[in-house]
């Protein structure tokens, strides 16, 4: 058998001898504990471990290494003092920045509260006589207060189509029936192992055939403002958004569903009740520019692109030449901007500011906004190639300063 540390295995000794050995082993262990190897008795010596960067810098070297020279010790002390000074400066800068942000936020809240009072007490009760007043236009440009934004959008968009709540209920019921049929078919296909095919046309130029409308709406709804997590399946606005889009396809089968509509309907839902959101959605898409794009009227779309290119060469000639050199045509960014009314490319709060003035000024403001964005980022865009231009303009920076952007837009006078 195996012998460990020279000891005889238990099978080879008698019980009395085993007990004697056990006693002697315990005695040996107690008497030799002070002389056992260091690797068996290593303990963390808190006094020997530097507790901070300060201690690490000023700590003397171990005895087995050469001691620090006076010059080296002075250098380390200076490095430490510089590091502490920089940390204090950063802390002071952060504190000042936070105080500035808090003051700006407080000031902005006061402005919004004051504007909301003016809208509710003076302008909204006298809408027809006040909507074109100088006071209303100035407040409009500053951004509508969230508390009244939906009401003002509804009034500004209007209801030329004369859609009633009852009509919305009818189309919503039809859309719900189609949704249930599609979900049941999906379930059957899943059980049978077959897969339903969706159109392969690229966004956003595809107008979906009737048999794929509900499928594509279901897919698009889940991809609408994913960061908000309210339009995805299980979210509070998932079914409502689907019902509005489905109801619209029943109301306007000649237009049908086009990818990108979900973003417009979602922005309206965030500011209006579902029936009002549907009425505004249908009337908004009935405007000349939106109707041309959503019906994929190629001659009209080309006319819009050609007009915009002329404006680009007039206001931003250097950038126009750069785009031409990179073969980067207006349709490569304008389609996405117009199909979603900037709600996909801009941060949501900035997009709502754009919508505020768009509801007041109409389609012209969309092209002013496009030129304003290009002017605001002109220096950056001039350094980009074709691929980076497309990536940048598809999803603009989240930290875009809205006031500076609107200053850029205001400098474009069409």
Q: Whole-angstrom Cα distance, residue 367 to residue 70?
A: 69
Instruction: Give the E-state strand segments of 306-354 in sequence order.
Output: none
Decide whether 165-188+208-286 matches 292-411 in CATH topology. no
Token reading at 370: 């496009």
- Domain 292-411: which topology? Cyclin A; domain 1 (1.10.472)
Please compute the mean of the pLDDT values over residues 154-168 and round it to a whole number: 96
Output b/e per residue, 153-168; b: 16+ Cβ within 10 A. bbbbbeeeeebeeebb
The CATH number of domain 165-188+208-286, selected from 1.10.8.270, 2.60.120.680, 1.10.1660.10, 2.30.110.10: 1.10.8.270
- Taken as a whole, the chain contains a residue count of 414
pLDDT in tens, 364-389: 999 999 999 999 999 999 999 999 99
Least confident of 72-81, 179-188, 252-261, 279-288: 179-188
Residue 137 pLDDT class (50, 70, 90 cuts): very high
Token reading at 401: 């300063």
Q: Whole-angstrom Cα distance, residue 52 to residue 33?
A: 33
Asked if residue 88 has pLDDT above 80, the reply is: yes
pLDDT in tens, 10-43: 544 444 444 455 455 455 444 444 444 443 444 4
Domain ranges of the chain: 72-125, 165-188+208-286, 292-411
Asked if residue 205 has pLDDT above 50, the reply is: no
pLDDT of residue 290: 93
pLDDT of residue 197: 45
pLDDT of residue 57: 58
Least confident of 65-74, 223-232, 392-401: 65-74
pLDDT of residue 56: 55
Average model confidence (pLDDT) across the chain: 83
Distance of CA 300 to the CA centre of its chain: 32
Residue 65 pLDDT class (50, 70, 90 cuts): confident
Residue 277 pLDDT class (50, 70, 90 cuts): very high
Given a contact cutoff of 8 angstroms between Cβ atoms, the answer to whether 330 and 308 are in contact is yes
**Residue % of the chain over a pLDDT of 90:** 61
């Amino acid at each position: 058998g195996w012998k460990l540390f020279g000891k005889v295995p238990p099978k080879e000794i008698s019980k009395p001898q085993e007990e004697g050995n056990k006693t002697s082993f315990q005695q040996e262990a107690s008497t030799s504990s002070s002389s056992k190897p260091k690797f068996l008795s290593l303990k963390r010596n808190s006094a020997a471990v530097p507790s901070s960067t300060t201690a690490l810098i000023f700590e003397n070297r171990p005895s087995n290494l050469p001691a620090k020279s006076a010059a080296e010790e002075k250098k380390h002390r200076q490095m430490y003092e510089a590091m502490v000074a920089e940390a204090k400066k950063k802390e002071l800068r952060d504190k000042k920045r936070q105080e500035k942000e808090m003051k700006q936020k407080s000031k902005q809240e006061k402005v919004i509260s004051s504007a909301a009072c003016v809208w509710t007490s003076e302008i909204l009760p006298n809408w027809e006589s006040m909507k074109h007043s100088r006071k209303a236009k100035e407040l409009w440009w500053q951004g509508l207060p969230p508390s009244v934004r939906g009401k003002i959008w509804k009034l500004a968009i209007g209801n030329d189509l004369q859609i009633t709540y009852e009509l919305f209920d009818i189309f919503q019921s039809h859309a719900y029936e189609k949704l249930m049929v599609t979900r049941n078919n999906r379930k059957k296909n899943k059980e049978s192992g077959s897969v339903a095919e969706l159109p392969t046309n690229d966004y956003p130029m595809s107008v979906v055939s009737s048999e794929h409308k509900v499928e594509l709406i279901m897919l698009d709804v889940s991809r609408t403002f994913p960061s908000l997590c309210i339009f995805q399946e299980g979210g509070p606005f998932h079914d409502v958004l689907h019902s509005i889009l489905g109801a619209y396809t029943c109301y306007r089968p000649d237009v049908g569903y086009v990818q990108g509509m979900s973003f417009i309907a979602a922005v309206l839902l965030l500011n209006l009740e579902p029936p009002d959101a549907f009425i505004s959605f249908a009337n908004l898409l009935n405007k000349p520019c939106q109707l041309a794009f959503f019906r994929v009227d190629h001659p009209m779309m080309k006319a819009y692109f050609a007009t915009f290119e002329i404006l680009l060469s007039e206001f931003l000639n250097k950038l126009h030449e750069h785009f031409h050199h990179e073969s980067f045509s207006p349709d490569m960014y304008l389609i996405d901007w117009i199909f979603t009314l900037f709600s996909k490319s801009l941060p949501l709060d900035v997009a709502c500011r754009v919508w505020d003035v768009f509801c007041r000024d109409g389609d012209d403001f969309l092209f002013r906004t496009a030129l304003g964005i290009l002017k605001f980022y002109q220096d950056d865009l001039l350094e980009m190639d074709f691929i980076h231009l497309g990536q940048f303009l598809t999803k603009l920076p989240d930290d875009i300063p809205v006031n500076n952007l609107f200053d850029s837009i205001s400098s474009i006078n069409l």
